[in-house]
Structure 1
């Protein structure tokens, strides 16, 4: 008798920005993980977990109202030990300490590579703790450069339009059709966008563009 295939890990995804959630959902599903529900703040996350238990919670730290760490604190207070992996834009020793004290199993930068994100989720689901500080000065420098130099000015109106469609999960062919452009032209736009955002893939480009308020 053949072994039964292993069921995909079940996740709850919390972030106040809908486009970030959409990008993360697409990425995680490509990595073979299952999103049970999404939440746009800490309270919605708590309400969802009360109805739909999951294997791992993936939550942004900075959210309006009840943020990721406050939601985690309340989750632990009610006796829920679901592993929580917190996401943030920059490493921050104070946030790391607060996350650990609140009962987080993991703390990861949003700039992490997809394979690192998947590995972190699998490891916290297995009971490991991933709260080691990460050296991210190159990441800080990239974000600071774009932020200090008014990111919007670095992108043309057409590039921003392409970025918005990328955020919606459109392929180059679909973007070309929507914008009445040749597919090769769209490919060139995407290459320029990735270069300007100093990223190698579309998902991280969209996440960084949202973080920098380009879109």
Structure 2
């Protein structure tokens, strides 16, 4: 059982609309989430994060200039592994693909229930990922796997767990640490998973796994 937190979760809140930020701040503070700072675009977010670490970044995807996914990519490029939860009003498979490629831990529609948003923040702050944060029908339609009987039984529980971490953008080293395995063992598992899904690309493997309802 996870021990209760001694201090509130501290988040960075990024959205180009002031009214949206104000509403999210009021909502989350009522639920015990602390807002460390706000940013109105990706550039401001990156600048403030450099001097003020947080537990989770909660960012809109669509912002002028540096958007949420671009900011996420730059964050990862500079070695910052802070969990990022991306918000959007668009149920768009392309955004799911870009967010996955950039290493997002979560991807949530803005019309999610308040309790679901808080649960998502707590979940990613504790090292979890949101595996199917939006409707995946568009993803399944676009990346349809050509088989009449999706072979769910072909994947072991450990392979499914590794696929879920891959969906969160975790590296082999991070997966190994999370699952208490040697990095070489994880590498072997990933190779087997890619072979089963008939792809050499981790992101496409995750999307095929969604198509197959493996994760």
Q: Does 1:91 align with 2:95?
A: no
1:115-149 deviation digits (Å, cap 9, x = unpaired): 00000000001111114153399xxxxxxxxxxxx
Query: 41-50 vs 123-132, which deviates more?
Result: 123-132
Deviation at 1:51, TM superposition (A): 0.9
Instruction: Give me the whole-angstrom Cα distance separating, in 1, the residues matched to 2:135 and 2:42.
Output: 28
Secondary structure at 1:43's aligned position in 2?
Answer: helix
Give me the TM-score of the superposition, normalised by structure 1.
Answer: 0.60
Deviation at 1:90, TM superposition (A): 2.1
Deviation at 1:5, TM superposition (A): 6.7
1:26-56 deviation digits (Å, cap 9, x = unpaired): 0010010000000000000000100100000
2:76: which partner in 1?
76
1:173-194 deviation digits (Å, cap 9, x = unpaired): xxxxxxxxxxxxxxxxxxxxxx
Secondary structure at 2:135's aligned position in 1?
Answer: coil
Gaps of 5+ in 1: 138-215
Deviation at 1:6, TM superposition (A): 1.8
Size of the alignment, in residue pairs?
Answer: 135
CA shift in 2, pair 1:4/1:27, >3 Å: closer
Cα contact 1:88–1:109 (8 A) shared by 2: yes
Secondary structure at 2:130's aligned position in 1?
Answer: coil
**Structure number with larger C-alpha Rg:** 1
Gaps of 5+ in 2: 138-215
CA shift in 2, pair 1:23/1:6, >3 Å: same
CA shift in 2, pair 1:20/1:4, >3 Å: closer
2:155: which partner in 1?
none
1:36: which partner in 2?
36
Cα contact 1:93–1:133 (8 A) shared by 2: no
Deviation at 1:91, TM superposition (A): 1.4
Instruction: Give me the whole-angstrom Cα distance separating, in 2, the residues matched to 1:83 and 1:5.
Output: 17
Cα contact 1:59–1:84 (8 A) shared by 2: yes
CA shift in 2, pair 1:131/1:106, >3 Å: same
Instruction: Give me the whole-angstrom Cα distance separating, in 2, the residues matched to 1:5 and 1:97.
Output: 33
Secondary structure at 1:134's aligned position in 2?
Answer: coil
Give me the TM-score of the superposition, normalised by structure 2.
Answer: 0.60
**Alignment RMSD (CA, Å):** 1.9
2:54: which partner in 1?
54
Secondary structure at 2:116's aligned position in 1?
Answer: helix
Secondary structure at 1:19's aligned position in 2?
Answer: helix
Instruction: Give me the whole-angstrom Cα distance separating, in 2, the residues matched to 1:69 and 1:123.
Output: 20
Cα contact 1:14–1:38 (8 A) shared by 2: yes
